[in-house]
Chain A
Amino acid sequence: MMTQVLNQFSKWFLHHQSFAGYIEPVMQVFKPAWRAGQFRAQVVSTAVLDGGFLSVQLKPSKQWQAHTSGQHISLTVEINGRLLTRVFTVASSAKQFKNTGLVRLLIKTNAQGRFTGLLSSALKAGLWCNISAPSGDFVFKNTHTPATFIAGGSGITPMLAMLDDYLGQTTQKVSLVYYAKATEHQCVDELSELAAQFEHFSFLLLTREQSSDITSNIKPWENPDIYCCGPAAFMQTVSDFAKTHKLNYYQEAFGLALPTLNDDSQFNVKINASAHVVSGNDVLLTQFEEKKLPVKRGCGIGICHQCQCIKKSGVVRNLKTGELSDNGEQLIQLCVSQPVSDLELQL
């Protein structure tokens, strides 16, 4: 009640969407990374793992509601003054959070990456970051049927959380087929422990070279539910297989492969809820105007910021600076932005 009154007061008279937003910079003096509409989390420890993975243990603030294993959160980190946001699956179970108050992220880092490349310096033990409430519906659905988990690369993260939570709740056969590059399989110790503890669980560590048919380890005659997480083409193959064999299929999409820029390439753009196709040979503003989308044209040369909109995901090139944007959420000026990947925008 009090909060609502304060928020309304802030909207009308203090010109901020929430009272928290109005006092944010002051609160940050006392509580680092305190932000309106976000939860705080403190980095407890980090570890660099094989294959360029970074394991991060976070302690979320008390207000944070536990996730359901398999769900993801967005992680916001301030790197050199910029708030950068990415979505990561929580790679630890709800049970572990209940016991320790910690969540673990397992992040595939890329030294050239705009975000992950800088993470190891921004996420040092003791530092603060922001996380969102958990979301996503890639969670364990049914304990009464057998299940086969198929993970590709960092697609293992939701599986780790789900297995830890649900193996104890089912007696059905559960198997995991985990594809990664040789020596890049993560958390093998944990998986071995689970396999020792639960007889109905088994796992296979594979590389694409060893076993190029990723569906060869699915046993359709056992009628398992299929859970799949990995690169787009990887999941498409498994999804097709499940459809053919009439198996229940659940997947989580993540990641984005950056294509090399080709002026004639076409990209899918999701604006609010509608889908459009744009080409790489012109700035977004002109193309949106041709499509009669509700865009604002200002100066058209990157000065006035009137055509600016929120990019939820995807990469654009700023023609004024020649720089590629991040893949995450940020403001872009449509009049000087050339699409470089599929995009999701909010107009």
Chain B
Amino acid sequence: MKNINYDMLASELDAIKMDTLGKVGQQDADYIRSVVRKQRVCEWSGRILLMLGFIQPLLWVAGVLLLALAKILDNMEIGHNVMHGQYDWMNDKQLNSQHYEWDIACDGQSWHRVHNFEHHTYTNIIGKDRDFGYGLLRLSDDFKWRFKNVWQFFTYINLSVLFQWGVSYHELAAERVFIGKKKENREGLVSHSTLKQRFFSKGARQLIKDYAIFPLLAGPLFLWVLAGNLVANLIRNLWTSTIIFCGHFTEETQTFKQEDCVNETQGQWYYRQVLGSSNIKGSHWFHVLTGHLSCQIEHHLFPDMPSSRYQEVAPQVQAVLKKHGIDYHTGSFFKQYTSVLKRIIRYSFK
């Protein structure tokens, strides 16, 4: 590791955090509620427009896009951030991390366990953070090359298309609920039967909602609605997967060894969060659509800071990191995504 004054780094980043958290208030509460309102409007106008496709197919297209937008807002800006506890200070029962559930196949509490704990605490530590490659892709030399890596680009495409199911199955895969030998050092927080029950219950409800209930409610327009929901889910899957891959798998993002996090200080933890993440530049609405995962570095430094503040703290964080000579990985969407694709292909081979 470089010669960095970690204590100073920690105190400077802490100062940004405390300063910003001190400002959090009505503005942030109003912001998240306004996103929820937009989500509701998109969802219901989308669902209604899907049924008007028989008048003019373009209405159906608009419906699909609105429904996809609603799902993206729900999953990214609302769900992800609320479940991080970013808005718990509001004491609002509808917007707190203990009860929030999202419009996606993955059971919220399962995600809460794996993502908030494993991924955010042990970011990019090989062997600890299963989000690195999701156990499917080889994205660094830390993993031995296997023959299946040759076609991992197609594995990646499949994962993107079915992303909500990948997220949903994530914890069950780690716990070896269905297949594989249980790892000895892994102490599950929840029993296998609970995991299975929650997995099937949430997944089934999502399938029934999108592919049975709403199509049936549409009567003769069954197929219009069914197809619309399918495409909307697909768009959401591709978008979330793409954004999430840009957050940790650009070529610049680094991995760490388990030894690295033993007795880690706050400063070292911050350092690892920065190097393990990358940002995407964009306009305000772009950041909202990514659930502010485009500010991945800030999100990883301050996972429970309200997302409404990430755009504001980003330049401050960048300035502090620059002062300490620490790289700040950012770039346009095009640049970052190209970089991800290159990395996936690069590590397909030895």
Contacts and interface: CB of A to CB of B under 8 A. Distances in A.
A304 B116 contact: yes
Given A17-B99, A25-B37, A78-B29, A83 B18 contact: no
Interface in B206-264: 208-209, 213
B90 interface: yes
A84 B91 contact: yes
B177 to A, nearest CB: 19
B92 A321 contact: no
A13 B117 contact: no
A173 interface: no
B304 interface: yes
Interface in A299-314: 299, 301, 303-306, 308-310
A24 B89 CA distance: 18
Contacts of B213: 13
A82 interface: yes
B25 to A, nearest CB: 4
Contacts of B113: 298, 306
A330 interface: yes
Contact of A83 (B36, B37, B91): B91
A20 to B, nearest CB: 10
Interface residues of A, number: 39
How many B residues are at the interface, by size bracket? Answer: 35 or more
Contacts of B103: 14-15
Given A80-B26, A81-B30, A85-B91, A299 B85 contact: no
Contacts of A310: 98
Contact of B91 (A26, A28, A82, A301): A82
A337 B121 CA distance: 19
A14 B84 CA distance: 20
B97 interface: yes
A308 B97 contact: yes
Contacts of A28: 33
B155 interface: no
B interface secondary structure, majority? helix
A23 B29 contact: no
Interface in A7-48: 12-17, 21-26, 28-29, 36-37
A296 interface: yes
A250 to B, nearest CB: 32
B92 A83 contact: yes
Contacts, number: 109
A25 B78 CA distance: 13
Given A17-B99, A299-B117, A308 B90 contact: no
Given A80-B26, A81-B24, A331-B91, A308 B98 contact: yes
Interface in A97-153: none
A331 B96 contact: yes
Nearest to A331: B88
A82 B101 contact: no
Contacts of B91: 82-85, 329-331
Nearest to A85: B91
Contacts of A82: 25, 29, 89-91
A305 B85 contact: yes
Contact of B303 (A36, A303, A329): A303
B298 to A, nearest CB: 14
B189 interface: yes
Nearest to B94: A21
A333 B208 CA distance: 35
A298 B116 contact: yes
A13 B229 CA distance: 14
Interface in B1-53: 18, 21, 24-30, 33-34, 36-37, 40-41
Contacts of B85: 305, 308, 331, 333
Interface string A77-91: 010111111000000
Contacts of B93: 17, 21, 36-37
A189 to B, nearest CB: 37
A91 B209 CA distance: 49
26 contacts: A13-B205, A15-B100, A15-B103, A17-B93, A17-B99, A21-B93, A21-B94, A22-B40, A25-B33, A25-B37, A36-B94, A78-B29, A82-B29, A82-B89, A82-B91, A83-B91, A83-B92, A298-B117, A303-B120, A304-B112, A304-B117, A305-B85, A305-B112, A305-B304, A308-B88, A331-B96
Given A25-B94, A29-B37, A298-B116, 15 more contacts: A12-B205, A14-B103, A24-B94, A26-B40, A81-B24, A82-B91, A296-B189, A299-B121, A303-B303, A305-B85, A305-B112, A308-B85, A309-B98, A321-B21, A331-B91
Which 6 pairs between the two chains have the least Cβ-Cβ distance? A81-B29, A15-B101, A305-B85, A304-B116, A80-B25, A83-B91
Interface of B: 18, 21, 24-30, 33-34, 36-37, 40-41, 84-85, 88-94, 96-103, 108, 112-113, 116-117, 120-121, 189, 205, 208-209, 213, 303-304
